[in-house]
Amino acid sequence: MTDISQFLGADHTHCDDLFVAAENAVASADWQNALPHFQAFEVATLHHFMREEALLFPAFEARTGMSHGPTAVMRGEHDEVRETLQGMGQALTEHDAEAYLGLAETLLMLLRQHNLKEEQVLYPMADRVLADTASEMVRQMEALPA
């Protein structure tokens, strides 16, 4: 059985790998590959957020009664990431490596802190409070279309 922490932690790793590929392409001015790499990263990240916001967070909130707790913080951080992604996409269309890499550095700091909070706090809490439905939750998250 894969628990929520394992599934979503692996999803973080997948997104991180895509982020690195995009950043490397921009750093080497490989504009032909930079956009597809960035788009793959953006799609994977937004899909990850959808898994959490559409499935995990509501189930966690219903079970714990905490709608203004950790999930509210995570949603706010998701919004910050979305804004940064928009700026990165704009920098790519302009082939502005300096702007892209500056925003990428900001995004990296945001995601490191965000993912750490999820992996060390929220996901273990979700594993505990949703233990009886974790397998079904993971199945639903896997099935959620991108």
Give the pLDDT band (50/70/90) at residue 118: very high
Residue type, 115: N
Q: Strand, coil or helix: what is 96?
A: coil
Instruction: Tally the domains of the chain.
Output: 1
Q: What is the pTM assigned to this prediction?
A: 0.95
Quote the domain boundaries for residue 120. 4-143
H helices of the chain, in order, are 4-27, 31-50, 57-64, 70-93, 97-117, 123-129, 134-143
**Contact 43/89 with Cβ under 8 angstroms?**
no
pLDDT of residue 37: 98
pLDDT tens track for 34-84: 999 999 999 999 999 999 999 999 999 999 998 888 999 999 999 999 999
**What CATH number does residue 80 fall under?**
1.20.120.520
Mean pLDDT of the chain, nearest integer: 96
**65 φψ region: left (φ > 0), alpha (ψ -120 to 50), beta (else):** left
d(CA 46, CA 17): 15
